[in-house]
Structure 1
Amino acid sequence: MPAGELRYPSSISCPQISQATETPMEEDEAWVWAQIKAEARRDAELEPALASYLYSTILSHSSLERSLAFHLGNKLCSSTLLSTLLYDLFLNTFSSDPSLRAAAVADLRAARVRDPACVSFSHCLLNYKGFLACQLKDAAGRKNPISFFRLSCPQISQATETPMEEDEAWVWAQIKAEARRDAELEPALASYLYSTILSHSSLERSLAFHLGNKLCSSTLLSTLLYDLFLNTFSSDPSLRAAAVADLRAARVRDPACVSFSHCLLNYKGFLACQAHRVAHKLWTQSRRPLALALHSRISDVFAVDIHPAAKIGKGILLDHATGVVIGETAVVGNNVSILHHVTLGGTGKACGDRHPKIGDGVLIGAGATILGNVKIGEGAKIGAGSVVLIDVPPRTTAVGNPARLVGGKEKPSRHEECPGESMDHTSFISEWSDYII
């Protein structure tokens, strides 16, 4: 097949699960569905790696209800709650009540109009978990089986890796030594450690394999993701350097991180950060449909929502990571530590540069919210649970809701250490208040 040529499967059959009778769409609903299919065809032509996914999720279906039922079934299935059963459940429910389809179309329009980061209706349908969660109400149906087709995805290219720097090679050697030790101590993990670390010749290959298996789905195959990650890591040595810096950050700053291999295998903040860097690379190459699909999987699997356009430095620690949200125009500097449930968000639906800029060495405590195009100066500290709406000067501490500077606005207290590296969350207490419970 010539490079870039898109060819859909011609002999794939997907039998109907149930005899659901769908009511004709209203004019507005039909227009939105036509837009979704047109956007999916365009994205499949722009990004052939997504063609199988877009075909199975949107282009093979005759209606919005069937596409939505298929997508929700695959999103929510498990080893004991089959996607086939869920598809039948959702399709019967959507088909029996046209108001559910009308509500879904209204939700699609709401996201498209109100969220400047929503680039298309199909992007919302495929990737917006808030939209998908809203469609799950009042689901009830019957159980019938279905046979799903499988699509093959050949290797895209043969990646050529650049030699590792001395420090990078040392960290990779440590990771392999730790994996060998753990395999001997715990034989039940031997095959997992071999397939994920010990069988690979480089950090890039190990990381690509691990991320591919973490982020794959029934329609976004691990083989495709492995090739995507490996090619991206291999084409840009700075991504490997950033990964090594992140590994060191976790090992030094988090006392619960017992080894480099522990971070590589188990720290979802670390893994989300590496996957985001690949999504960001794709975004800068104008491969935006694939970047957004990857962003959606990162959010689904790791509960970390970083827009692929956001710029993230190196030496980053996303500690615990659950609930971290970083918006489209946000910038995060080097050696920054961010705890769980932190939001770097906008202030509404305004477009343009609308998200925070975080300087080097900043520490942001758990549950902190920073809104708008505000600057957090180098080496600043944001206390847990704070709400920050204005700039914070370098080497100062902001605490509270709304956040106030420790020491006062006119002469704020300043610290010499880099809080993003020291991880000292409470050094401001004595100056902030003489009342401590």
Structure 2
Amino acid sequence: MTRFKADIAKYKRYSNKSALVLLLTQQGLWALCVYRINNRIYRSKIPGIFKRILLGFGLLWQKWIEMIAGISLPYSASIGPGCYIGHFGGIIVNANAEIGADCNLSQGVTIGVSGRGSNRGVPRIGDRVYIGANTVVAGRIEVGNDAVLGACSLVINDVPASTTVLGVPAVQISDKDSSDYIL
């Protein structure tokens, strides 16, 4: 549960509230808690039938969180510690996506599959990446560490580290990194 502790610590940096208040009020933390527990079970060495039973209950719990929080974090996705989901709803992460440590996901973010043939796949997102509201990140692409993906962008090409991209499709608009967005 050290990854979830890192998630809580990040939420505390943003709000200056106690862990209990955050756990009671932040839908992003609810979704991350369920994800962390289910992901731990998924990656464990629990014997097959017991793991499937636990994951069956975990899937029901995940679906409940999806309905009340509007956040879908499948247990098979890879999400690094210190994730921050600042606002309610509309967040969809593909089951095979990889998200690095200390990333921020805004409302309406989709991280999904796209492409054709050998280009079909899901994104790999580096550490300390800020993903703005209503941004879609899709396809077999790499997003470098410390990148900023601007609001309402469609990111379908690789993003170099420490840059800002914006638009449909997203293009590099700045060499500024995410340090102004990530605490």
Give the alignment's TM-score, normalised by structure 2: 0.85
SS of the counterpart of 1:418? Answer: helix
The aligned residue for residue 129 of structure 1 is: none
Deviation sequence 1:374-423 (CA, Å, 0-9, x none): 111000000111110011000000101111101xxxxxx3235535524x
- Between the aligned partners of 1:313 and 1:346, the Cα distance in structure 2 is 19
What amino acid maps onto 1:262 in structure 2?
Answer: V
The aligned residue for residue 129 of structure 2 is: 362
Is residue 418 from structure 1 mapped to residue 171 from structure 2 by the alignment? no
The aligned residue for residue 395 of structure 1 is: 162
Give the RMSD, CA atoms, in angstroms.
Answer: 2.4
The aligned residue for residue 139 of structure 2 is: 372
The aligned residue for residue 340 of structure 1 is: 107
Give the superposition deviation at 1:296.
1.9
Give the superposition deviation at 1:297.
2.3
The aligned residue for residue 274 of structure 1 is: 33
Correspondence list, 1:17-28, <5 A: none
- Between the aligned partners of 1:376 and 1:366, the Cα distance in structure 2 is 17
What amino acid maps onto 1:293 in structure 2?
Answer: L
Give the superposition deviation at 1:258.
3.6
SS of the counterpart of 1:404? Answer: strand
Alignment match of 1:253 (pick from 4, 11, 14)? 14
What amino acid maps onto 1:359 in structure 2?
Answer: G
- Between the aligned partners of 2:33 and 2:93, the Cα distance in structure 1 is 15
> Which structure is larger by alpha-carbon Rg, 1 or 2?
1
- Between the aligned partners of 1:350 and 1:275, the Cα distance in structure 2 is 34
- Between the aligned partners of 2:8 and 2:18, the Cα distance in structure 1 is 9
What amino acid maps onto 1:242 in structure 2?
Answer: R
Deviation sequence 1:136-167 (CA, Å, 0-9, x none): xxxxxxxxxxxxxxxxxxxxxxxxxxxxxxxx
- Between the aligned partners of 2:95 and 2:180, the Cα distance in structure 1 is 25
Give the superposition deviation at 1:306.
1.4
Correspondence list, 1:201-350, <5 A: 239=1, 241-254=2-15, 258-285=17-44, 287-288=51-52, 289-290=55-56, 291-347=58-114
SS of the counterpart of 2:137? Answer: strand
The aligned residue for residue 24 of structure 1 is: none
Residue ranges of structure 2 left out of the alignment (5+ in a row): none
SS of the counterpart of 1:355? Answer: coil
Shift of the 364–295 alpha-carbon distance from structure 1 to 2, 3 Å rule, reads same
- Between the aligned partners of 1:266 and 1:350, the Cα distance in structure 2 is 43
The share of aligned pairs that are identical, in percent, is: 27
Higher RCO (CA 8 Å, separation ≥ 6 residues): 2
- Between the aligned partners of 1:258 and 1:351, the Cα distance in structure 2 is 47
Contact 2:148 2:178 in 1 (8 A): no
Give the superposition deviation at 1:350.
7.6
Aligned residues: 175
Shift of the 379–246 alpha-carbon distance from structure 1 to 2, 3 Å rule, reads same
- Between the aligned partners of 1:350 and 1:323, the Cα distance in structure 2 is 28
Contact 2:134 2:151 in 1 (8 A): yes
- Between the aligned partners of 1:352 and 1:267, the Cα distance in structure 2 is 37
- Between the aligned partners of 2:168 and 2:120, the Cα distance in structure 1 is 24
What amino acid maps onto 2:132 in structure 1?
Answer: G
Structure having the larger proportion of residues in helix: 1
- Between the aligned partners of 1:264 and 1:333, the Cα distance in structure 2 is 22
- Between the aligned partners of 1:338 and 1:419, the Cα distance in structure 2 is 15
Deviation sequence 1:28-51 (CA, Å, 0-9, x none): xxxxxxxxxxxxxxxxxxxxxxxx
SS of the counterpart of 1:277? Answer: helix
Contact 2:119 2:140 in 1 (8 A): no
Give the superposition deviation at 1:372.
1.0
